[in-house]
A and B are shown apart, each in its own frame.
Chain A
Amino acid sequence: MTRSSLALVLATAAALSLPTAASAQSLARNQFRSGALVRAAFRPVVEEASLATVRVKVAGKKAALGFVVSSDGHVLTKASELDGPVTCHTSEGLDFDADVVGIHQPTDLALLKIDGANLPIVEWAEGKDPAVGRWVVSSAPVEDPVAVGIVSVDRRRIPKTRGVLGIQIEEDEPGPRITQIFPNSGAEKADLLAGDKISSVNGKKTPTRKELVETLAKYGPGESVELRVHAEDGDESKVRVTLGHPLPNLLNRGAMQNRMGGDLSTRRAGFPFVLQHDSYLDPEDCGGPLLDLDGRVVGVNIARAGRTETYALPTSEVRKVLPDLITGKLAPPKPRDADAIETKTDGDDAKVPRKGA
């Protein structure tokens, strides 16, 4: 989003002029905390790690950053951004097709496998989390860090929030009927229409409004669900929709202010542990490594969560999950026959294929 579209300007608001340098002391932009001159001082910090950092693309578009954790091509990244064919672009300018070989839902980590050999890998930091006030540096497959900041808060749990489709519904047969689609919602992006009826979610039948709401409440923002949709003209189809955050009610100032200054990650809540830091990181730059001044990985950037906050999974937690990702214990289920999903009624929601047709 551009700056102007983010401007929070209200029709009735008093007009204030912008601060200008004319009558005040001011600082050159490249000397800002995250300005080019300051970030340049961090080049030696990311020198090694940037070689192991990759740009993760989905269907050719920037989706996340990732980093190589084994020289034969295992790459860690952020799972919920991977909703299509994945490729990795390395610091050497090479592009690899990537398979998703593991997903750890609680942390939103995904392990990719690319067909590489003797790839540079990152060095993990040992010991405790970096303390509040310590520099943290986010690398990318380029010379300069993509962001710099300090640890703002010690590790803590971030509770889960409920995901929403972005619709208003009323009771009907054979399932609740959509009466309104909210702008910029997952429902709008998936081309749902007012008048459509929803009869199942991931194969679980939802004959009433209550059952639909309760079923959807099991999923968080960033997760996707497959709906059976009955259009007004009688057409039936399966529609995959990515859930969003609960829509800010009319003047939820907190939600609104948090968006002032940049976009946020769709999945930005429901983590067992995060380190909060103050780096300005774009959502598509999450998934990469967070480094200390010695260039060692102290965490994995997992979400841009608000104007003041970026979350990283602490390295000690990431390394607990990594073996299960590598051995295939957390392999995503293979896409199954669509009918099998359709007839499933036991509500086993967690095992829905991520890359369904």
Chain B
Amino acid sequence: MLRGRRSRVLAFVALFSVSLIGFARPDALLADDSGLEAVLADVEDAILIEPSEDVTKVLAQNAPRSIDDLKLIEEHVAALAKRLEPCVVGVRIGSAQGSGVIVSKDGYVLTAAHVSGKPDRNVTLILPDGREVKGKTLGANRGIDAGMIKITSNAGKVWPFAAMADIDDVDAGDWTLAIGHPGGFKKGRRPVVRLGRIVVKRRNVLQTDNALVGGDSGGPLFDASGRVIGIHSRIGPSITWNFHVPISAFTEDWERLASADEWGGGSTRSPTVLGVNGEDHPDGGALVTGTPDGFPAQVAGIQNGDVITQVDDETIKRFTDLSEYVGKQKPGDKVRVVVRRDGKTIEFEVTLADRNER
């Protein structure tokens, strides 16, 4: 018998989204000491909080074993949080907000490509106490979500900055500190600190259980010495699915990012969304297994267990038929969704939405 191929479709949500289409290549904004070597040469001025031998030993265990272990960790984490705060910034471009981290004394800021967007844009950077400084976006590797910004205010000022780690020193199980501005910078709230561990290390992504949410994008993931090991990028449905761009994406392509080059990715994804998740139904159609709150499908009354068999005049045999059809529509378009529920056929009129609308 034919069994439907169960193609479970999962997607991750970028923690912050701005429209990313367009590949204008502006003049590079180059400082004369933009090289990575110059930045690394200054590393002794970076904020570094090396853990004591005792703390290192405790952190190397599978898990803390006693209250004494926990107290050692606590003293160190509290010091890290306090000392690292000054190099964490909020990033505002238009009405959009994300986070970033200063990694050189002359004000290079690492962030996510989906926060900084195109090169040579004006940005406002928000310091932890709420003061604002100006900056320009530099390069972006869209494929891996690495972006760079340079502070342009206060030329000649020495900024507090974090050191960048060597990715080879990073392993699954390492304790990590995530700092950023969930929900965007909020007056009266300093950068928000979360503790976690590296759950998965891959060449192009780090996963941790430091819970992140929209607005954190671009913020730093620190190791136990306060070195930047990753930049917050996106999340999945479980609270332990938090994804970070590995620091190697910045150090290996430093010159390219600093010279305002832009490459990789280039999302052609349609912004139009119905708001269902699901899989192929064995008897044909798209079986709905989730309807996120507030999305068009849920608002219209489509429920888990419904099988979508037709949209407008298009027959839906598999889940991808649904994705493709919706992707061809525009946000605001009305579609007729035909659903099989408890043996009955029900029709819904659904107004499609734009995934990037806030």
Contact = CB atoms under 8 A, between A and B. Distances in A.
Interface of A: 3-19, 21, 23-28, 30-35, 37-38, 40-42, 44-45, 131-135, 149-154, 156-157, 182-184, 247-262, 276, 278, 280, 293, 306-309
Given A4-B289, A132-B82, A24 B200 contact: yes
Contacts of A293: 67, 70-71, 74
Contacts of A154: 190
A4 B289 CA distance: 7
Interface string B233-260: 0011111100000000000000000000
Contact of A153 (B192, B197, B215, B269): B192
A11 B273 contact: yes
Contacts of B327: 11-12
A309 B322 CA distance: 35
B200 A250 contact: no
B205 interface: yes
Given A7-B290, A13-B9, A40-B63, A251 B237 contact: no
Interface stretch (B105-113, B145-153, B297-305): B297-305
Nearest to A28: B62
A251 B10 CA distance: 18
Interface stretch (B12-20, B87-95, B115-123): B12-20
A82 to B, nearest CB: 25
Contact of B74 (A9, A26, A133, A260): A133
B248 to A, nearest CB: 15
Given A41-B70, A293-B74, A12 B211 contact: no
A135 B69 CA distance: 12
A310 B319 CA distance: 37
Nearest to A9: B277
B11 A19 contact: no
A33 B212 contact: no
Contacts of A30: 63
A260 B192 CA distance: 18
Contact of B323 (A12, A151, A183): A12
A27 B196 CA distance: 12
B239 to A, nearest CB: 3
Interface residues of B, number: 91
B182 to A, nearest CB: 5
Nearest to B9: A15
A353 to B, nearest CB: 31
Contacts of B314: none
A26 B357 contact: no
B269 A13 contact: yes
B241 to A, nearest CB: 8
Contact of B63 (A5, A23, A31, A255): A31
Interface in B158-217: 171-173, 182-183, 188-190, 192-202, 205, 207, 209-216
B11 A14 contact: yes
Given A134-B74, A135-B70, A257-B13, A251 B195 contact: no
B225 to A, nearest CB: 15
A132 to B, nearest CB: 5
B74 A10 contact: no
A38 B58 CA distance: 12
Contacts of B231: none
A38 B272 CA distance: 42
Contacts of B269: 12-14
Contacts of A12: 269-270, 272-274, 323, 326-327, 355
A27 B199 contact: yes
A26 B198 CA distance: 8
A307 B239 contact: yes
B74 A33 contact: no
Contacts of B7: 15
Contact of B213 (A42, A133, A257): A257
20 contacts: A4-B290, A9-B276, A10-B355, A11-B323, A24-B172, A30-B63, A33-B210, A41-B66, A131-B78, A133-B78, A133-B81, A134-B77, A183-B301, A248-B294, A251-B358, A255-B293, A255-B294, A257-B235, A260-B236, A261-B235
Nearest to B172: A25
B220 interface: no
Given A9-B290, A12-B273, A37-B63, 5 more contacts: A8-B277, A132-B78, A183-B299, A251-B353, A251-B354
Contacts of A45: 67, 70
A257 B82 contact: no
Contacts of B173: 27, 31
Nearest to A247: B294
A278 B239 CA distance: 11
A333 B182 CA distance: 39
B65 interface: yes
Contacts of A34: 209
Contacts of B301: 183
B295 interface: yes
B81 A308 contact: no
B80 interface: yes
A308 B67 contact: no
A184 B293 contact: yes
B10 A132 contact: no
A309 B182 contact: yes
A193 B65 CA distance: 56
